[in-house]
Amino acid sequence: MVQFKGVVFALFAGLVLVFPLSSAFAGTRIKDIADIEGIRENQLVGYGLVVGLDGTGDSLRNAPFTKQSLESMLERLGVNTRGANLNTDNVAAVMVTANLSGFAMQGSRVDVTVSAMGDSESLQGGQLLVTPLMGADGEIYAVAQGQIAIGGFSAGGDAAAISQGVPTAGRISNGGIVERETGFDLAGQSSLRLSLRNPDLTTARRVAGAINSYAGLPLALALNPTAIRLTRPPNWKGDMISLLADVEQLRVEPDLPAKVVIDEVSGVIVMGENVRVSTVAIAQGNLTITIEETPQVSQPGAFAGGETTVVPRTNVSVEEEKGTGLVVVKDGVALKDLVGGLNALGLTPRDMITILQSIKAAGALQAEIEVL
């Protein structure tokens, strides 16, 4: 039996939640909506070998880079294996990644992530050998080594196998040692920029205004929807760090664009506070078409001759649910009223997605729709 759903797709029921927005009027700290130039992490990457695996490493015939790396490493240790038939399966080639703080000092430690490159089945029990970690400029900033901890496992026999998580990736807590500092002098800066995480002209102007109002001097200037330039005057008591510590605690009210975000896969709908609709009438109903196939076998008598055939039998029925009628959503309603009007129709999230897109197509939704 096959069923078709028309007009709307009532796949599952759900709720539209309206989160309280009263806390937003108290303002948000600048440190929670903006990044400071120079205070950032740097991504490091390296290539290395993991040894000590229990027969779950790379097969050297299928992973020539593992074989070449193993031979090169042994040569540096004074062991010549060129031309030898290496057939070990206890070694795996891996990529090692880490994030280096902009102010990490030489000798401090960072966490590293290890991921298999070849056909290794698991890195469980493996030991990462000394691996240099390079930045985007090609310089070595850290060195990683240590025992790998993985969050999954894999086991099996000839007829069955079981696995959980990803056994070919793991982490080494504090497995990297910083060898080179970035050398950024934040305290000595006389001017730097604040970068808004959600670019907006109004928010940028409000941030600059809050800083200037606090200092009583024109220290901040909004350059574009993202950047605000902050300048430390020569007569300021303290360095740039003391100024930033005061500035990041200032509170502003971010301005948000009118946007509706829709995730059609999960049926999630998120609407911003500033979403408005023009006067529009909405009706909703379901149309169900059911097609049922019940084929029958037609078999002739024993002495009648002929052939046995299958005779199709199709039963088609159409059922249209009684809709809720037209519901009028008035012009310029707020988010709470819009949600209340849609809930009055008894809609599922899938129905709301279809209706919101239809309202947008009619030009009555004064907001941007973003479909994930």
pTM for the model: 0.65
Task: Report the pLDDT value the prediction gives residue 10, as an integer from 0 to 100.
Answer: 31
**pLDDT given at position 157:** 61
pLDDT tens digit sequence for 54-96: 888 888 888 888 888 888 888 888 888 777 777 788 999 999 9
Residue type at 27 in one-letter notation: G
- Is residue 165 domain-shared with residue 200, that is, in the same domain? no
Per-residue pLDDT, 116 = 93
Q: What is the pLDDT of residues 147-162, one digit of tens each?
A: 999 876 666 666 566 7
pLDDT digits (tens, 9 = 90+) for 338-364: 666 666 666 677 777 777 788 788 777
Same domain, yes or no, for 340 and 306?
yes
Domain span at 287: 2-20+259-371
pLDDT of 18 reads: 44
Q: Token pair of 19, please?
A: 């989160």
Q: Which stretches within the chain are classed as H helix? A: 64-76, 201-215, 240-247, 335-344, 349-361
Rounded to whole angstroms, the Cα distance separating 72 from 54 reads 22
pLDDT at residue 291 in the model: 53
Query: Does residue 34 sit in the same domain as residue 47?
Result: no
Task: Output the pLDDT for position 5.
Answer: 37
At residue 23 the predicted structure's pLDDT band, cuts being 50, 70 and 90, is very low
More confident: 38 or 303: 38
- If asked whether residues 7 and 61 sit together in one domain, one would say no
Q: Please report which helix (H) or strand (E) contains residue 280, including its range.
A: strand 280-282
Looking at the fold, whether 113 and 91 belong to one and the same domain comes out as yes
- Answer yes or no: do 7 and 56 share one domain: no
pLDDT at 1 over 50: no
- pLDDT tens column, 90-101: 999 999 999 998
Mean pLDDT of the chain: 79
Last residue of a domain, one of 220, 237, 252: 252
Using the predicted structure, report yes or no on whether residue 53 has a pLDDT greater than 70.
yes
Nearest alpha carbon to residue 171 among 67, 97, 83, 246: 97
| Confidence at residue 323, expressed as pLDDT on a 0 to 100 scale | 52
d(CA 214, CA 247) in angstroms, rounded, equals: 8
Residue 3, pLDDT > 60, answer no
Residues 300 and 265 in one domain: yes
| 245 pLDDT more than 80 | yes
Nearest CA among 68, 116, 58, 61 for reference residue 89: 58
CATH of the domain at 205: 3.30.1360
How long a stretch of residues is the chain?
372
Alpha-carbon distance 110 to 38, whole Å? 19
CA 302/CA 296 separation, integer angstroms: 18
If one counts the domains in the chain, the total is: 3
